[in-house]
Amino acid sequence: MQHNILATMRSLKIIDGCMGTQVYALNPSDTGTTTMGCGVGEKILQHIHDHIKAQTLRTKSVHNFQPSNLSDVVVTAEGSFLPYGLPMTELLEPKIEPSMRSFNFVETLADVHRRTENCPQFEKSGMFLEQCAVFRGLADPKLFRRSLRSARQHAVDVHMKVVLASWLRYERREDELIGLSSMDCCGRNLECPKATLVPGYDPESVYDSCICSRDCGSSCFYYGNEDSLLVVDEVEECSTSSEEEDGDMSFCIGENEIRCRRFNMASLSRPFKTMLYGGFMESWREKINFSQNGFSAEVMRAAEIFSRTKRLDQFEPNLVLELLSLANRFCCKEMKSACDAYLASLVCDLENAVLLVEYGLEDNAYLLVAACLQVFLRELPSSMHCSAVMKLFCSPEGRDRLALVGHSSFMLYYFLSQIAMEEEMRSNTTVMLLERLVECAADGWEKQLAFHLLGVVMLERKEYKDAQHWFQAAVEAGHVYSSVGIARTKYKRGHTYSAYKLMNSLISDYKPVGWMYQERSLYCVGKEKMMDLISATELDPTLSFPYKYRAVSLLEDKKIEPAIAEINKIIGFKVSPDCLELRAWFLIAMEDYEGALRDVRAILTLDPNYMLFYGNMHGDHLVELLCPVVNQGCLADCWMELYERWSSVDDIGSLAVVHQMLAKDPGKSLLRFRQSLLLLRLNSQKAAMRSLRLARNHSTSDHERLVYEGWILYDTGHREEALAKAEESISIQRSFEAYFLKAYALADSVLDSESSTYVIHILEEALRCPSDGLRKGQALNNLGSVYVDCDKLDLAADCYMNALNIKHTRAHQGLARVYHLKNHRKAAYDEMTKLIEKARNNASAYEKRSEYCDRDMAKNDLSMATQLDPLRTYPYRYRAAVLMDDHKEAEAIAELTRAIDFRPDLQLLHLRAAFHDSIGDYVSTVRDCEAALCLDPNHAETIELCKNAREQIKEQN
């Protein structure tokens, strides 16, 4: 972080006046600085040097770059659509991933699974958290959520339960659902806010009915320690008068006399017992002066009542707070535990949590602090705007206070820092939370991750010296990928050759992976740069930077159409806002404003806050500029266009139409739901969940709201709860979507003949309900699939034909399957050819058509499928199987390895393990099986294969 003197200079606008805008100012009062031992003057000069370099490049891009023959096609009566010029290769650079990455990911997966299986029960939660960190950088968020649920299941104390349950809730963003508060229970013990406050290790309890649903409800509270748990029911107020009359001693506070039973008071704690029965003068006095201890007569009366009744429910909260302080002062463990739990049960919102947490920290009240912490975490990210909460989390003193009461952990700060990085990576809050994360990190993966994340954030803040330090620390801790950060910071500080040498040595010392060549390409020029980018794409075709760089290079050579073709290669299988932005940029230069508007609308669907043109223009503003020069149809025209684009499997075009329709009718929940389906097809699960939540919030009826809640539950892995929502919706009103959800969730398991018949019945009920052709086509397609599974081929064919009649193009694939099962391979092949001709995104069609032709034609189709979408795994498996049939084992394994290196898929790993097993390489078999089981611990075939391979290894030894 920068020194305060630099922030002062910024406030005087000395730097800004010399060099321009876009400086991220820091708060001059911020004290969470990291100087790394360098002097103030050196820090300022380095920052000025870095800032001048960045601004020089930006200025060159915006003002000096004037491509001939293009500048006259980007200006309309509204002004320039490209006020910041065209993109430049020298301003492009890949992002450093803010997650753990390995040059041998399979080894990492296998190692994590092995250690998870063999570790003691009480350590499993920490191992599953490590799995979360490993999965964080993968495209599939379901793997991360599954490990997070497992970590919560094996949580050993209240603190871990609170953090992990809150994290699970945040992943579902249920707080964004209108009508729900952060402390509402979703009905699952896994995330229940009351269940998290129950101490004890019980993994199976997460499957029980949640505490909120039990009869005791709000009429009970829980207290105890890790060894015992008491549930106390509220009953009528206890009478105290007779007991007071029976007292044999008194505590005097001022003029008040509190009559007590000496034995009962002595039983509260050892200090009281020593006072009342030890060798002190109080032990033989009937009246003891207690005025100098700072406690009121009311709290001593409450203590006396508790000594007899062991109850607190008749007291006001303020009195219990004072009783907690008394219990803490005099070591009254049972009374303190009761006060702690009673006060914890009162914490229900952010306001009283902020108030009560101070009492909890002051009196070391574990459960009270846990309850307050739970509110803070379940209110994220909005609670980050509360200064008291952030002071507690961000400051070293706050962390120390939390640690004293048992509520500071790596897990907590990992959760907080992830949210802070999502909100604003460059903020001081993010830096301070990461500094606390470093302080909590233990040796091993925790330090690797914490150091790396801090390096990434410092790099984003352009604090290159600090960033280099943290990346170096991560490498020394064992995180090889952080070498990329070291090279990047050296490059930013003008040491290009040093950066090149570092990446060159990395490629020499380790098995090369795509990101190594990608990074080295930044530090070389000409043919060498292009060769590195080609190597990066060959090793990992999912890296977007090589496509972007090649596309912009073609643009600079005035080859716009080849530039668009290059960027289309990755958009075809991996849609991201930055690649769509680049294509929109190119399309504007070509005067294809309709295509540009389509891409910008798609960008805003993926990320509503996206800033275009190097972060200088909001996407909504560009939409406003482009709309006047593009024909905008009415709502009926939009529906017709949506049908056409949906039919041609043009998901990006469909997204753009839905975005346009929502601009006309933002409260239409049906459109939000359509949007979520398209986003799921494009593998944009985070954006899809946001659309589903908006659909739910804009619902105009209870039965519709329940359906969208059911889809949210289904997409986050809660199938049974999704079914319950569908049933509840149907009980209110029969609807297509409710029946479709029910059928979809039921079909997500192995169906026998009886359950298949029931799913058919449900889908038929759905088709009897009103809906549009888009959804009915999907239902007919699904019904045809179930008929095929039941060997009712003629009925299936009828379903597919009916779906095609309403332009559900994907039904060609189902109809081809029917023809194939009837031994009409030529008809099946022709049917898939029709799909290929109609569909914009047809990699899956090529893949499926390969099943209906001879080997040579199949190889051509699968080659095309891989070219269009290298993430599809079937082509690699098919080619590997063919090679194995030809007894080319090494080539078969190499074919699978090529895909596994950039996509560690369960099926690919299982097949490679089987191949290793067939040639007697049992060590490699076990490794691949363990990696596969890390992805899916319940995969029966892999479990059996791994067991057999281990037995073979034992026999050989």
892 — pLDDT class (breaks 50, 70, 90): very high
Q: Which candidate, 940, 935, 933, 913, places its Cα nearest to that of 924?
A: 913
- What are the tokens at 324? 């907690």
Of 110 and 268, more confident: 110
Measuring CA to CA, which residue among 338, 324, 268 is closest to residue 295? 324
Secondary structure class of 5 (helix, strand, coil): helix
Number of Cβ within a 10 Å radius of residue 273 = 16
pLDDT tens for 734-751 read 999 999 999 999 988 767
Q: pLDDT category, 696, cuts 50, 70, 90?
A: very high
Say if residues 801 and 783 touch (Cβ distance below 8 Å): no
pLDDT at 225: 43
Q: Which tokens in the block code for residue 83?
A: 């006020």
DSSP conformation class of 424: -
208 backbone φψ class: left, alpha, beta (φ>0; ψ -120 to 50): beta
Is 232 strand, coil or helix? strand
Tell me the whole-structure pTM to 2 decimals: 0.86
**What tokens appear for 192 in the block?**
């229940």
138: left (phi over 0), alpha (psi -120 to 50) or beta: beta
Region 519-540 average pLDDT: 96
Residue (of 543, 563, 544) closest to 555 by Cα position: 563
Give the pLDDT mean for 43-53: 43
Strands 249-253 and 287-289 turn out to be parallel
Domains (range + CATH), the chain = 249-346 (3.30.710.10), 870-956 (1.25.40.10)
CA-to-CA distance for 364 and 746, rounded, in angstroms?
49
User: Which whole-number Å values give the CA distances from 506 to 373, 465, 470, in the listed order?
Assistant: 43, 21, 18
Output Rg (C-alpha) for the chain, integer angstroms: 32
3-state secondary structure 233-301: ECCCCCCCHHHHHCCCEEEEECCEEEEECHHHHHCCCHHHHHHHHCCCHHHHCCEEECHHHCCCHHHHH
Residue 245 banded pLDDT, cuts 50, 70, 90: low
Indicate the pLDDT class of residue 310, thresholds 50, 70 and 90: confident
Task: Provide the strand spans (E) within 24-106.
Answer: 75-76, 79-80
Residue range 64-88: average pLDDT?
Answer: 55
| Six-digit token string for 265 | 């008071």
Band (pLDDT 50/70/90 cuts) for residue 932 is very high
Q: What's at 336, amino acid-wise?
A: K
**Residue 940: CB partners within 8 Å, gap ≥ 6?**
none
The rounded mean pLDDT for the chain is 86
- List all residues 6 or more positions away from 105 whose beta carbon is below 8 Å from its beta carbon: 901, 904
State yes or no: pLDDT of 41 exceeds 60.
no
3-state secondary structure of 198: coil
Q: Which of 474, 809, 514 is nearest to 654 (CA)?
A: 809
The stretch 177-202 carries a mean pLDDT of: 84
User: Average of pLDDT values for 291-318?
Assistant: 86
DSSP 709-772: HHHHHHHTT-HHHHHHHHHHHHHH---HHHHHHHHHHHTTS---HHHHHHHHHHHHHHHHS---
Share in percent of the chain as helix, strand, coil (round to 5): 70, 5, 30
pLDDT tens digit string along 450-481? 999 999 999 999 999 999 999 999 999 999 99
